[in-house]
Amino acid sequence: MNERSTAGDAWPRFTPVADHALLVSFGDAIADDTSAAVLGLDRALADSPPPGMAECVPALVNLLIDFDPVVTDHEQVRAHVERLLRTSSRGQAPGQLREVEVCYDEDFAPDLAAVARAVGLSIDDVVNNHRQAQYVVRMYGFAPGYAYLSGVPRAIQVPRKPAAVRGIAAGSVLIAGPQCLVSTLTMPTGWSIIGRSPTRILTPNERVPFLFAVGDTVRFVRIDRALYEARKATEREQAERERDLTEREQTERHA
């Protein structure tokens, strides 16, 4: 999708999904005003949900409202949404600024040279463009903790690869078109891998399981290999402490 705004008189559009959900769309392209409208409605629904709403799932340009069809229906949910849109502010509350450390060493960034060739820049220029940009968390999807960030500068935008590559390590920093993502699991990807981050995206906090919230701003900070390895060593120690604490709590619970 292009980064052009499409919000206007034709939006929002309402699409019934099966007998238990309504899709509310504010555009068909990634744009700041479209995202602000999605997040504004998400907050309004959190403050004033319609009867029977099970959950709402915000995405890049739309929001899915899932509901109990025994309690309500598409028409009643749509009427509730239209009332909220008439009375609620569509401004986007500022999110928090998050910093994500990245090591751009060659073995962590197997596609960096290919990206540089594709866009006609040096590797350092690609890295500088990537780390100097400001990104916004637009949505979660695909896998736990996969936060889709917008903001990749046009100068280093490349399309997805023709085919996905298997076994890409967790923590890989990926780009495709205007989007960026830090992987949290070892999985296949068709995006270009330009670095690896030791920053912990998945947290042990059950109430706040991810580092990012939708709407947060993200800045990437370059680190060297020594600091990357130190961060990972600290993470392993912390994971061992958390595992020991969990096992102790389970033992005490069943004693």
Helix (H, G, I), strand (E, B) or coil at 60: coil
C-alpha distances in angstroms, 160 versus 3, 11, 123?
16, 29, 19
Q: Report the Cα 14 to chain-centroid distance in Å.
A: 24
What average pLDDT is seen over the chain? 89
> What's the CA gap between 78 and 65, in Å, rounded?
10
Is the pTM for the entire model greater than 0.85? no
Kindly state the average pLDDT of the residues 85-90. Answer: 75
Contact 184, 170 (CB under 8 A): yes
pLDDT in tens, 116-131: 999 999 999 999 999 9
- Mention every residue, 6+ apart, whose C-beta is less than 8 A from residue 201: 145, 147, 182, 184, 210, 211, 212
Q: How many CB atoms sit inside 10 A of residue 119's CB?
A: 16
pLDDT at 3: 40
pLDDT at residue 6 tops 50: no
- Residues 104 and 75: their CA atoms lie apart, in Å, by 51
In sequence order, what DSSP letters do the residues of 141-195 get, joined into one string?
-SSTT-EEEE---GGG--PPPSS-EEEEPTTEEEEETTEEEE--S-EEE-SEEEE
Provide the pLDDT for residue 90.
53
User: Please, which contacts does 139-144 make with residues 24 or more away whose CB atoms are closer than 8 Å?
Assistant: 139/58, 139/59, 139/60, 139/214, 140/210, 140/214, 141/59, 143/183, 143/184, 143/185, 143/187, 144/184, 144/185, 144/202, 144/209, 144/210
Is the pLDDT at 2 greater than 60, yes or no?
no
